[in-house]
Chain A
């Protein structure tokens, strides 16, 4: 199983860019990198997913180097409402063939955004 390592916590201020890095040294060829966000008293919510290079959507960007052994979630100009726990998951998304067995939520990174 591709194990992920990410910082336990991070602090930032409103308006700053936040980068959360996740290490996944034994990522497999078929594995994708997926990030989820969880607010208190809510279920996790999908943010972004990528396989290589860079992916951007309306919420965040995901940078993946060529060796794919790490990835960085970038949140531009954070606000207080971005305070949450962010999870990095690595695994095969082809669930029909059993790929889901590899998707494991780690401890996540607790991001605190201050005024």
Chain B
């Protein structure tokens, strides 16, 4: 299994530009999560999906952020317009539905720098 795949691994952009981060979860996993990690705030849950449906987006910082999951194998996190304070590492994680360990499988992250 290839694991959770995120792209791009690094993105440098200028303030005001649109940023799109992409995630391919592990096949067969029903849950998908988007996290943001910064030195100041640690790991924050932004939004999570169950069977492609957003369940909880209370962690999305503001309207500039949006996330979609058009199918079971693809999700995007979009920031428009981007601001310097959005600079962070964004992680995508997936997990199977069955009640088991509730283990999260993380991708390697997308490091975003907004100048």
Contacts and interface: CB of A to CB of B under 8 A. Distances in A.
A32 B102 contact: yes
Interface string B19-37: 0000000000001000100
Contacts of B99: 93-94, 96
A32 B101 CA distance: 9
Nearest to A104: B45
B91 A43 contact: yes
B83 to A, nearest CB: 24
Given A43-B91, A43-B107, A44-B106, 11 more contacts: A32-B102, A41-B108, A43-B4, A43-B109, A46-B101, A93-B102, A94-B99, A95-B31, A95-B97, A101-B56, A104-B45
Chain B interface, >50% SS class: strand
Interface of A: 32, 34, 36, 41-46, 49, 87, 91, 93-96, 98-101, 103-108
Nearest to A50: B101
Contacts of B43: 44, 87, 105
Nearest to B44: A105
